[in-house]
Amino acid sequence: MSKTVPPAQLCGARRPGWENGPAIGINRIPCILAAGHDDDHRNAFGQTWPAAAPLAAALLQLADKLDRRRPRAVMSEALRRAQALVLAEELHGPTPAAEAAEEELLATLPSVRERQTRSQYAAILRQIAQGVTQ
């Protein structure tokens, strides 16, 4: 039997890549389990996805985001840090797991070089992701 969780206490995590799709769709529905749950995420339709996304998938998702949004703009250290936080919370919701994922991402993401574009940085992330999966 399921119990009702107040909206403020819901996990709210969305499937990785949900922001890339159309404005509507089943994959945009957030996790309805209690915040801080240990099991896989589950939406209202019963679909599940892993609570811990692999590091390589997170790196590739960030690379895609950088290539889509102003790829010729200069990459900055502030953007690197902010995107690690945003991506971790998109994958895990506002939970301790998001904090751990953010720390792991920041430890893996290389420093930004002077005059490096977002697209150049994204290419480096893809190379790192390949190394992580091998």
pLDDT of residue 26: 75
Alpha-carbon torsion, ordered 60, 63, 65, 71, to 10 deg:
-160
pLDDT of residue 134: 46
Query: Is 54 a residue whose pLDDT tops 70?
Result: no
DSSP, residue by residue, 29-64: PPP-SBTT-SS-EE-TTS-EE-SS--HHHHHHHHHH
97 or 69: whose pLDDT is higher? Answer: 69
pLDDT of residue 78: 95
Distance CA 81, CA 79 (A): 5
Binning pLDDT at 50, 70 and 90, where does residue 122 land?
A: very high
Percent of the chain topping pLDDT 90:
34
Structure tokens at 8: 């403020």
Query: Is 65 a residue whose pLDDT tops 50?
Result: yes
Interval 4-14 mean pLDDT: 75
State how beta strands 41-42 and 48-49 pair.
antiparallel
- C-alpha R_g of the chain: 16
pLDDT of residue 24: 64
Instruction: Please say whether the beta carbons of 112 and 80 come within 8 A.
Output: yes
